[in-house]
Amino acid sequence: MGITCHLFIACLAASSGALAFHLPRQQKLHATRCGSASDDAQEFISQNYPSAYKLLSKNNDAMKAINKSESGFTIFAANEKAFESLGDKKRSQLNDVRNEEVTEKIAAYHVIAEPVTDKMLFNSGGVITLGGQVPCERSTSGGMFGMGGKEDGGVTINGSKVVKTEEFSEDGKLCIVHEVDGLVSPQILWRYADQLRIPGSK
């Protein structure tokens, strides 16, 4: 069906009504703007998540998916706090010309070339981004040392939590922006920073 989410048995149960998922009302927003869905989504990201937009703009395939996708797209937009938490060194590495390949790869993990809603994320075990597969897990609260917590209705993407979601729709095209509190790309990519190329890449 073209959906990139890898759904498990729990998802099949959800589609039959056995499970229900509802984000808190303030977390899910629906845009009502006057431009195209794609343009509105890009404007929204550039204004609210400038560091994420700068990162995305460094990957031509990501921008092509955003501008050319007929059905829509999904963006994981790391908020400004997430970039601050990277520290000076990693932020500098993202802007270093030596790290163009690493930066492009990191950006690719934040784009899916079709719409994936919060409910799909919640009921999936992972999604396929332009960069590759990343795991999705239901977030928990409470407990100690990662044990004994209870599901809180949220979802994490490779450990980064979805804070809120905004949807832009027009003529059957759905563009979705999930704000996340951290980068969703694999940590191992940073190992190749300050090198000329990622080993094994073209």
Task: Answer whether residue 191 is part of any domain.
Answer: no
Would you say residue 169 lies in a domain? yes
pLDDT for 146: 56
**Residue at 129 is within a domain:** yes
For residue 166, what are the contacts with CB-CB under 8 A and spacing of at least 6?
28, 29, 30, 31, 41, 44, 176, 177, 179
pTM over 0.85: no
| Residue 84 contacts residue 183 (beta carbons within 8 Å) | no
At 59 the pLDDT is 97
| Domains: count for the chain | 1
Q: Write down the pLDDT at residue 20.
A: 31
Pair of tokens at residue 97: 């010309």
pLDDT at 150: 74
The whole-number pLDDT of residue 67 equals 92
How many Cβ atoms are within 10 Å of 197's Cβ, its own excluded?
Answer: 12
From first to last of the 202 residues of the chain, give the pLDDT tens digit. Answer: 444 443 332 333 333 333 233 333 334 444 444 469 999 999 999 999 999 999 999 999 999 999 998 999 999 999 999 999 999 999 999 999 989 999 999 999 999 999 999 999 999 999 999 999 999 999 877 655 555 567 767 899 999 999 999 999 998 899 999 999 999 999 999 999 987 665 566 5
Cα(116)–Cα(60) distance, rounded to whole angstroms? 21
Residue 123: which residues within 8 A CB-CB, separation 6 or more?
Answer: 5, 7, 8, 10, 11, 14, 19, 21
Structure tokens that stand for 155 in this block? 């979802």
Within-domain flag for 17 = no
State which residues form the domain around 152: 27-186
Q: Which runs of consecutive H residues, i.e. helices, occur in the chain?
A: 9-15, 37-48, 50-56, 60-68, 80-94, 100-108, 118-122
Task: With beta carbons less than 8 A apart as the criterion, state whether 50 and 57 touch.
Answer: no
Query: Residue 58's domain is classified under what CATH number?
Result: 2.30.180.10
Distance in angstroms (rounded) separating the CA atoms of residues 39 and 173? 12
Q: Is residue 200 part of a domain?
A: no
